[in-house]
Amino acid sequence: METLYHQTNKQIQEVQSYMGHLETSDKQSVHLVENEIQARLDKIFSNLERLEILSSKEPPNKRQNAKLRVDQLKYDVQHLQTALRNFQHRRYAREQQEKQREELLARTFTTNDSDTTIPIDETLQFNDSLQNAHRGMDDLIGSGTSILQGLRDQRMTLKDTHKKILDVANMLGLSNTVMRLIEKRAFQDKYFMIGGMLLTCVIMFLVVQYLT
């Protein structure tokens, strides 16, 4: 397990280094960098699944520490995955803006016998409003993604904490009453988390309805 753990930790550090190249990559190479990062993340997730299995087979006196180390790796790689998705959202927004700008500049106007006016100001204002709406939506999507990812991380943390508390409780011989209180609290936290996710989705839906 130690060899795979250090190998996975090294891979995470390499991905962090690759993330620094995204902002400086040109249009031709940015897709290659993104694909390379995603491939490395997929490999890391595969290693984490193996590490979870190996940590459960550790001796009882080492098992708790092994699980904590694996959880820390999972937390790090999930944040890297979120950062990659946010970058891809921003890149897509920039590409859409550039495409709209090129289409506007390439537009041709024809004349007729009557006086012709070119509503360029209105077109530019409409384009600016559209770009602002796109930026607002991208920021909202990025924030929503981060919030949902944070809720998922909290859920995993609560789940792991629940398991650890049960393990410690079994070792210490806590009473059944205390155990039921712990399980009830975990059940309530689950509904709080689901409620927060639903509220976030409703807010995003309302913003989309009124911004577009």
The pLDDT of residue 113 is 46
In a domain, 141, yes or no: no
CA dihedral 168, 172, 175, 178 (to 10 degrees): -40
Structure tokens at 177: 């009453």
Give the sign of the dihedral formed by CA 17, CA 21, CA 23, CA 24: positive
In a domain, 76, yes or no: yes
The total domain count for the chain is 1
Find out whether 28 and 93 touch, Cβ atoms under 8 Å: no
Mean pLDDT of 83-107: 83
The pLDDT of residue 114 is 47
In a domain, 205, yes or no: yes
The pLDDT of residue 203 is 81
Q: Is the pTM of this model over 0.85?
A: no
Domain that holds residue 207: 1-106+154-211
Rounded distance between C-alpha atoms, residue 69 and residue 71, angstroms = 5
Domain CATH code at residue 92:
1.20.58.400
Find out whether 48 and 77 touch, Cβ atoms under 8 Å: yes
In a domain, 136, yes or no: no
In a domain, 119, yes or no: no
pLDDT above 60 for 206: yes
Q: Which amino acid is at 10?
A: K
In angstroms, what CA-CA distances link 170 with 62, 64, 156, 165, 186? 17, 14, 21, 8, 17
Residue that wins the pLDDT comparison between 63 and 152? 63
The pLDDT of residue 93 is 85
In a domain, 135, yes or no: no
